[in-house]
Amino acid sequence: MKKKTGIMKVLYDKTFILLLITIALMLFFRILNPHYFTNNNIRTLLADVNIIGILAVGLACLFISGQIDLSPGGVGCMGAILLAIMIGQWGLPWPAALLLTIVFGIVAGLVTSFFVNVFNISAFIATLAMTTVYQGLVQVVSNNMALPVIDEGFAKLGSFIGSTPIPVTFVIMTCLFIIYGLILAKTKFGRKVYICGGNPNAARLAGINTKKMHTIFFVNNSMLAALGGALLVARLRSANTLAMFGTEFESITAIVLGGIAFTGGKGNMAGAFVGLMLLAVFKNGLKGLGVPAFWQVVAQGLIFIAALSVDFLRERSLEKSLKAKI
């Protein structure tokens, strides 16, 4: 009987259902497109998902802690430009340039946290304003031009593992999902994050410094965004002034689709990863069918709305169940 209960839990698990939907989508696109499972298409799918996935890790942690950030795309783009300048113009070795890029991400996170925690500005407004700042800075620093990065050692980070269709960046992204997933699910710190996002008042009464927690995750989010920008440079061998802007919305769509609530305190990295892959499969499938780019954008917007609607309905359902118990 217990075994049956365990199986039923798996069958009704949201992450498992999303996984089944992802597999069904892949089979659907395979029927419509005989080239869907070719080596080249798999390479494209896995390569396209990496940067969005790295941003999704940082945003997932931040959302669970009860905050939001709309600036990762801007931070990533600025980090990419700075890295290109350090390697291409200053002649720094790529490990040093990568480290300094990550340091930039940390500083960017501290700035955002300062506005939110010290000035008590809404995170939505503060990070939206910072995105505008980064858009201007990127154009000024780069003279609104793509900056080439010619460094074979650094380019290996953006390459594939041997003759496989698996990019190095996909491995990095997957490792990040696993590491952060274990931290959130298996550590005392992780439990504090859920309490902080789910019930800030209870967290404060329990002696948890919510502002400190938010600072940690704003910094972490911007650090990962800067890393994502650097890895995109490794893949493209240049820093594009527009390559990262807007990618945060795809990452938010993926994690909300994966069950992480806008209101905080809910969701996990496994769900976020499956949500990410579901979105990637959908985008890749439309592209393979030759759907015009503007319709692809419309479809992604509809998925985002659907994910938000599901999140809203889930919250309403939870509120009703709690009231019924009272």
The set of residues, in sequence order, having a beta carbon less than 8 Å from that of 192 and lying 6+ positions away, is 203, 208, 213
- 1 pLDDT band (50/70/90 cuts)? very low
* pLDDT, the chain, mean: 90
CATH of domain 50-304: 1.10.3470
pLDDT on residue 4: 47
pLDDT on residue 77: 95
Mean pLDDT throughout 151-174? Answer: 94
- 159 pLDDT band (50/70/90 cuts)? very high
How far is the C-alpha of 187 from the C-alpha of 167, rounded, in Å? 30
pLDDT at 296 over 80: yes
User: pLDDT tens digits for 130-142?
Assistant: 999 999 999 999 9
pLDDT on residue 295: 86
Distance set, CA 213 to CA 121, 139, 184, 201, 240 (Å)? 17, 33, 13, 14, 33
pLDDT on residue 326: 60
pLDDT on residue 2: 46
User: pLDDT tens digits for 84-109?
Assistant: 999 999 999 999 999 999 999 999 99
Residues recorded for the chain: 326
User: pLDDT tens digits for 27-44?
Assistant: 999 999 998 899 999 999
How far is the C-alpha of 238 from the C-alpha of 246, rounded, in Å? 18
pLDDT on residue 8: 56
pLDDT at 218 over 80: yes
Q: Report pTM.
A: 0.91
Q: What percentage of the chain exceeds 70 in pLDDT?
A: 93
